[in-house]
Structure 1
Amino acid sequence: MNGLYVMNLDRFPDVYGPDERADIERHLRVAAPPVTAGDLTPGLLADVDVLVTAWGAPRLDAAFLDAAPKLALVLYGAGSVRSTVTPESWARGVRVTAAGHAIATAVAEFALAQILYALKHGWRYVLTSRATKAWAARDAEKGAFGSVVGLLSLGATGRTTADLLARHDVTVQAHDPFATFPDSVRSVGLEELFATSDVVSLHAPLLPQTRGLVGHDLLRSMKRDATLINTARGGLIDETALVEVLDERPDLFAVLDVTDPEPPTPGSPLFSLPNVVVTPHLAGSLGPERRRQGRLMAEELARYAAGRSLLHEVTEQRLGHSA
């Protein structure tokens, strides 16, 4: 099989390091050096069976597919493929597998850290001490044992977060109308999730039907001293509503790794409210963590070459409910 690396070249060595490339090139003949989508020519694509890519992938439109008549598989070493796949690529039977599960691991690790820290009221004490320049007075923090953690969505990241939480003495509940629930997670309605959780962690995809989903009513319904954590997409939250409710309810706290817009506008109240902390989109894979993505793509290629099923294949039907 013939292959070609096409992606953002600044990210290429992060995703596809020497070990990952060696594993990929056990199955692929890669005659040309990596290129960006903008540098592609029809001659480069003519004999390509497998496209190896990630961030900066080309769009699989009719013109691209006409130039790559042999293309059968796309290894997308990043998360969402929405900007890459097209009706034409589905119609021509081009298969796509993606590394969203590898990114989900990194996000879930970050979410777990924030959830456990929130149950100890860690950030609250940090900000209080910084504001008062004094030892923060202890409050009625719960800690992990017996606390209730709510997850909005059990996609790849939500499910991985639930798996990590299973090692701790917390009750895990989730809302997801499309998911199959493991025995360790209780299924609840959206309103119950917000009203009964000590921490609510958002993991839903940003779709037209989820934009602004977390608004005044859900936020005001949250338990006393509850924390909202968002490592998914900023647009899931009505940010105006969040600012208003955080101002009304100083007992609530928010940890936002994503915002809308991102970054927040200069002077945003998110930087000055005493009960919110904003981190600069740290939850996803950073630096060498991205090698997980390249490794996953190498494993998928090995399965494909052996005629086995792909574990992380993206289908047109599944894409409708994913990020």
Structure 2
Amino acid sequence: MPVPEGTLLNGPHVVASPRTVLAMGSEIHGSLLADAAFDRLRHVASVDTSLHITDFTRADPAVLADTEVLFTHWGAPLLTEEALRRMPRLRAVIHAAGSIKHHVTESVWERGIAVSSAAAANALPVAEFTLAAILFANKRVLDAARAYTQAREQPALLPYFTGYGNYHRTVGIVGASRIGRRVAELLRPLDLDVLLYDPYLDRNEARALGVDLVGLDELVRRSHVVTIHAPQLPETRHMFDARRLALLQDGATLINTARGSLVDTDALIERLVSGRVHAVLDVTEPDVPPAASPLYTLPNVLLTPHIAGSLGNELGRMTHWAVDEVRRYAQGLPFTYGVGPDELTRSA
């Protein structure tokens, strides 16, 4: 079983400089190394940051046998039972990125290995991207820019945008995830009416977030902008199907920074081609749309290549948060951002 929240990870003693090994893809390792993101890690752990593991079956057995902490990132190999047998001293997996679903298995929990994730750090740029998308959508910034380019010096642009703006527009947040909650926080000072759908949230929690808790269909019908922050689960696949997409009001914008599978792409394209709705899509299904997809050329679509999350120097934020967790482990303190198996049923 995982270590309960609030308990000491290593008993009452302090583990000085725990033997730590990097496990991640070569591209992200090279990027973090070049940006000196690992500098602090060397002060709190015994680690060779120039080395990283991409395949446990090909790694040096002596290195694995001595590993106490795995410092992981995108591209980390799967922690199977066989891989864990090669690491008998492994006590903690600290992920310097978001979702751990791609490398943490049931065997990790069965071994009682503590797990931490920097998902809370990654939530920040996604929420910021979403805030910008909401404000731009209600102002019809893309339409205005296009019209201005076409009109050049001709006046009469303002009447075209009558009825647009952010004053008391309704925004619907789907999912009270870390990102969904952060979006609600960022929207709170603005003159916007915010709805929220989350089957695990009660009305008291919703009031604390400053939002109105409603059913999903009601949220879709009432919102000028709908932004998706739900996890990718079997029950959330195509939660925005043809029926639910038809509930969007004319001129509404759908924002998806979560997972492409939450939206029926074909059904959405049909709505977009009609011109009735707009979309901001940072994720799609498939991850890269076919070359002939209308999503690339439709004027009412902003399509981005999964950039809402951490990129560039924002990767350093996640690394620093993860290094803080290594420091806490070395001091025998509980993780600040510990993850348990129960959370995976409701997280991305």
1:211 aligns with 2:233: no
Q: Which residue of 2 aligns with 1:189?
A: 215
SS in 1 for 2:43: coil
1:111 maps to amino acid: T
Matched, 1:282 2:307: yes
Residues 198-277 of structure 1 aligned to structure 2 (within 5 Å): 198-248=224-274, 250-277=275-302
- Could you tell me which runs of 5 or more consecutive residues in structure 1 were left unpaired when the two chains were aligned: none
- Summarize the alignment of residues 145-164 of structure 1 with structure 2, pairs less than 5 Å apart: 145-164=167-186
Residue 220 of structure 2 aligns with an amino acid whose one-letter code is F
Matched, 1:112 2:128: no
Matched with 1:58 is 77
Say whether 1:76 aligns with 2:95: yes
Q: Which residue of 1 aligns with 2:26?
A: 9
Residues 18/231 of structure 1: CA separation in 2 closer, same or farther (3 Å cut):
closer
Report SS of the residue matched to 1:26: helix
Q: 1:187 to 1:15 in 2, by over 3 A?
A: farther
Q: CA deviation at 1:203?
A: 1.1
In structure 2, do the counterparts of structure 1 residues 177 and 134 end up closer, same or farther at CA, with 3 Å as the change threshold? farther
Q: Is the 8 A contact 1:74 1:97 kept in 2?
A: yes
Q: TM-score scaled by structure 1?
A: 0.92
Matches of 1:156 and 1:20 in 2, distance apart? 24
Distance 1:50 1:16, change over 3 A: farther
- Distance in 2 (alpha carbons) for counterparts of 1:103 and 1:59: 21
The Cα shift of 1:103 comes to 1.2
The code of the aligned residue for 1:172 comes to V
In terms of mean alpha carbon deviation, does 150-159 or 135-144 score higher? 135-144
In structure 1, give the amino acid aligned to 2:306.
Answer: H
Tell me: CA distance 1:242–1:70, structure 2 relative to 1, closer, same or farther (3 Å). same
Whether 1:172 aligns to 2:191 is no
- Residue 52 of structure 1 aligns to a residue whose secondary structure is strand
Aligned to 1:315: 340
The 3 A distance-change label for structure 1 pair 70 and 99 is same
- For residues 27-53 of structure 1, the C-alpha deviation after alignment (integer angstroms, 9 at most, x for no partner) is 211157422322422211111111111
Say whether the 8 Å CA contact 1:16–1:294 is kept in structure 2. no
2:120 aligned residue = 101
Once the two structures are overlaid, the 10-residue window that deviates more, 211-220 or 301-310, is 301-310
Change (3 A) 1:307 1:141: farther
Is the partner of 2:38 in helix, strand or coil? helix
Aligned 8 A contact 1:150 1:201 in 2: yes
Q: CA 1:131/1:81 → structure 2, altered by over 3 Å: closer, same or farther?
A: farther
TM-aligned CA distance change 1:76 to 1:265, over 3 Å = same
Find the aligned partners of 1:82 and 1:310 in 2 and give their Cα distance: 18
Q: CA distance change for structure 1 residues 271 and 20 in 2, over 3 Å: closer, same or farther?
A: closer
Whole-Å Cα distance in 2 between the matches of residues 257 and 161 of structure 1?
A: 16
8 Å Cα contact 1:120/1:142 also seen in 2: yes
Partners of 2:81 and 2:92 lie apart in 1 by: 16
Q: Identify if the C-alpha distance between structure 1 residues 237 and 127 changes in structure 2 by more than 3 Å, giving closer, same or farther.
A: farther
Instruction: Give the percent of matched residue pairs that are identical in Structure 1 and Structure 2.
Output: 37
Cα 1:105/1:53, change in 2 over 3 Å: same
| Contact preservation (8 Å) 2:65, 2:88 | yes
Per-residue deviation, residues 132-167 of structure 1 (Å, max 9, x unmatched):
778656223432221111111111111111111113
* Secondary structure, aligned partner of 2:285: coil
Q: Compare relative contact order (CA 8 Å, sep 6+) and give the higher one, 1 or 2.
A: 2
Q: 1:76 deviation in Å? A: 0.7
Give the drift of 1:235.
1.3
Distance 2:328 2:65 in 1: 24
SS of the equivalent of 2:74 reads coil
Instruction: Please name the residue that 1:144 is paired with.
Output: 166
Deviation of 1:58 after TM superposition, in Å, equals 2.1
